[in-house]
Structure 1
Amino acid sequence: MNIKYKKRLVAFIDVLGFKNLVYASTTASIDTYYTFILSNFQSAVAQRNFDFLLISDSIVIYCDESSDNLIELIKLSNILQAGLLAKGIPVRGAISHGDLFVDKLNNIIVGAGLVNSYILESAAKYPRIIVDRSLILKYYGSMKGALSECVVSELPHLSIASHNGGVVDYPYLNYGRLLSTSKSNAPFEGALSLLKNNFYKNENTEKYEWLRHYLISAFTEQKKHFENKLELNSSERSRLRRVSKYIDSFGCL
């Protein structure tokens, strides 16, 4: 075999609680997961000429390394995380870079890019997808630059806000803001149901506390965004009412 590495951006994303999906009394949740990946997400990947692999409970997305591809990978991963959370499936992951070789025919993926993102994923700790700080320096020059440039249609795709009283560690995808723009109750209810089912269990407490505080903060930012507009159309007024309602719902757990 002739292994030839290419410089790639790599997102390694792990489904939290995947074992619970496998051992659930019905296959509904795991069916939902694979249906989302193989329909909505797969088409979004193809539109960007990126590629991905499913490895057990993990998703690996990869593409050529460039500034344009980095913002697209951030957007794509944001869509993935918000979309799965809307269905009650939390994920954690990391975006990094490095040499990568992929042979999909023989199910081979190897290289520093995969190792870097895999190792960094564990540092995410909470239900979030973090970005390698070296990518911030390489493509944006500073954290401030990254936060200002990773904005699409007035929607900030990165955040550095701490929701556990700690210091800033890694920039992470602002998927709560994406979810907060939904035009229906279903995504909010999916995330709320996940929290209701796990919030009072004596396991993964810190992760779910972080998730609740983060989502309330993201929804509050979206509410302020609407309130600061001089005029709102009917769709925006509806979304303002919706996000206000769910700030209260998540706050009352």
Structure 2
Amino acid sequence: MEIAYENRVVAFIDILGFKNHINATACDLKYRAKIFSIMNYLKMIEEENYKGTYSLSDLGKEVSVFSDSVVISYPLNYRGGVPGIMLDIVYLQNTLLNEGILTRGGISIGDIIHKGNIVFGPAMIQAYTYESTCAKYPRVYVGGEVIQFGYNNPAPQNSKEYEMNFINRLLRIDPVDKIVFIDYLNQMEEFDEGRYEVFKENVDQTIRNGIQDLRPDVREKYEWLKTYFTYVFGLNKPAPN
């Protein structure tokens, strides 16, 4: 049987500091329940893709969860997959951040086999490389090839200009290192007013706690998040209606 690669857009997302989170569950029953709830949420994302009301598996979307990592991919013949995967990441990052969990990742395009929990191929390696070497902070790096493909292949119902503007709204260029990443905090329209305010408070507290960490490599991630958070929420933006 010939096994053929498929061209897909793929995102690899990793929970930062997962080992420390697990260690904290050893003697903290409340924290153990929290981590269980988070892992259950990740498993639900996977199951919803195949069995849920809004499943996109019939369009070729695949979702796999491996312990502290999530892989999401769409076939390139599904036009609209690029902004689709970006929105998936917005929801995933913000949901976990609301619980005090930081994530990092990368998005690439290319050859991959992704069927359920079987995932391998050059595009997967590239997404993992983006996560491990480019993202650095709690952000998801987006390869230039991904952005260009999204621009040039709008969803059937959208004009090219609309698709470009929509994709650009989901992206931010870090002013320091020029890395392009998913602008997950800056998506106010994805929140109702009550959840938005609670989310801000929770993220602010997560940052305050994290910056107290004595390990430089951990603290710098929270310092980066503080700068990003201040940029987004320090613009005196009103809460969404």
User: TM-score interval w.r.t. the shorter chain?
Assistant: 0.7 to 0.9
Q: Shift of residue 137 of structure 1?
A: 2.7
Report the AA paired with residue 9 of structure 2: L
Are 1:101 and 1:109, in contact at CA under 8 Å, matched by a contact in 2? yes
Equivalence for 1:148? 165
**How high is the TM-score relative to the length of structure 1?**
0.74
Q: 1:149-188 residue pairs with structure 2 within 5 A?
A: 149-150=166-167, 156-162=169-175, 166-169=176-179, 171-178=180-187, 181-184=191-194, 185-188=197-200
Asked if residue 13 in structure 1 is aligned to residue 13 in structure 2, the reply is yes
Single out whichever of 59-68 and 90-99 deviates more from structure 2: 59-68
| Separation in structure 1 between the aligned mates of residue 103 and residue 82 of structure 2, nearest angstrom | 20
Match of 1:115 among 115, 122, 125: 125
Report the AA paired with residue 127 of structure 2: S
Equivalence for 1:250? none
| Separation in structure 1 between the aligned mates of residue 46 and residue 167 of structure 2, nearest angstrom | 21
Equivalence for 2:83? 71
Asked if residue 197 in structure 1 is aligned to residue 209 in structure 2, the reply is yes
* Other structure's SS at 1:59 match: strand
Cα 1:218–1:209, aligned 2, differ >3 Å: closer, same or farther?
same
Q: Shift of residue 88 of structure 1?
A: 0.8
Count of aligned positions: 214
Cα 1:160–1:38, aligned 2, differ >3 Å: closer, same or farther?
same
| Separation in structure 1 between the aligned mates of residue 200 and residue 7 of structure 2, nearest angstrom | 38
Are 1:32 and 1:87, in contact at CA under 8 Å, matched by a contact in 2? no
Equivalence for 2:136? 125
- The one-character-per-residue Cα deviations of 1:4-27 (angstroms, maximum 9, x if unpaired) are 211111100000011122112331
Are 2:6 and 2:113, in contact at CA under 8 Å, matched by a contact in 1? yes
Superposed CA RMSD in Å reads 2.6
- The one-character-per-residue Cα deviations of 1:206-242 (angstroms, maximum 9, x if unpaired) are 2111101101111234x34x4xxxxxxxx75xx7xxx
Single out whichever of 2-11 and 68-77 deviates more from structure 2: 2-11
Q: Shift of residue 41 of structure 1?
A: 7.2
Cα 1:64–1:111, aligned 2, differ >3 Å: closer, same or farther?
same
- The one-character-per-residue Cα deviations of 1:168-190 (angstroms, maximum 9, x if unpaired) are 12x21111113684522432233
Identical residues among aligned pairs (%): 29
Are 1:127 and 1:207, in contact at CA under 8 Å, matched by a contact in 2? yes
Report the AA paired with residue 218 of structure 1: V
Cα 1:114–1:97, aligned 2, differ >3 Å: closer, same or farther?
same
Asked if residue 211 in structure 1 is aligned to residue 216 in structure 2, the reply is no
Match of 1:135 among 129, 134, 146: 146
Unmatched 5+ stretches in structure 2: 153-160
Report the AA paired with residue 220 of structure 1: G
| Separation in structure 2 between the aligned mates of residue 58 and residue 179 of structure 1, nearest angstrom | 26
| Separation in structure 2 between the aligned mates of residue 18 and residue 53 of structure 1, nearest angstrom | 18
Equivalence for 1:248? none
- The one-character-per-residue Cα deviations of 1:107-127 (angstroms, maximum 9, x if unpaired) are 432111111100111210110
Are 1:52 and 1:60, in contact at CA under 8 Å, matched by a contact in 2? yes
- The one-character-per-residue Cα deviations of 1:73-126 (angstroms, maximum 9, x if unpaired) are 10111111111101111100011111111343xx43211111110011121011
Cα 1:182–1:21, aligned 2, differ >3 Å: closer, same or farther?
farther
Single out whichever of 109-118 and 179-188 deviates more from structure 2: 179-188
Are 1:102 and 1:110, in contact at CA under 8 Å, matched by a contact in 2? yes
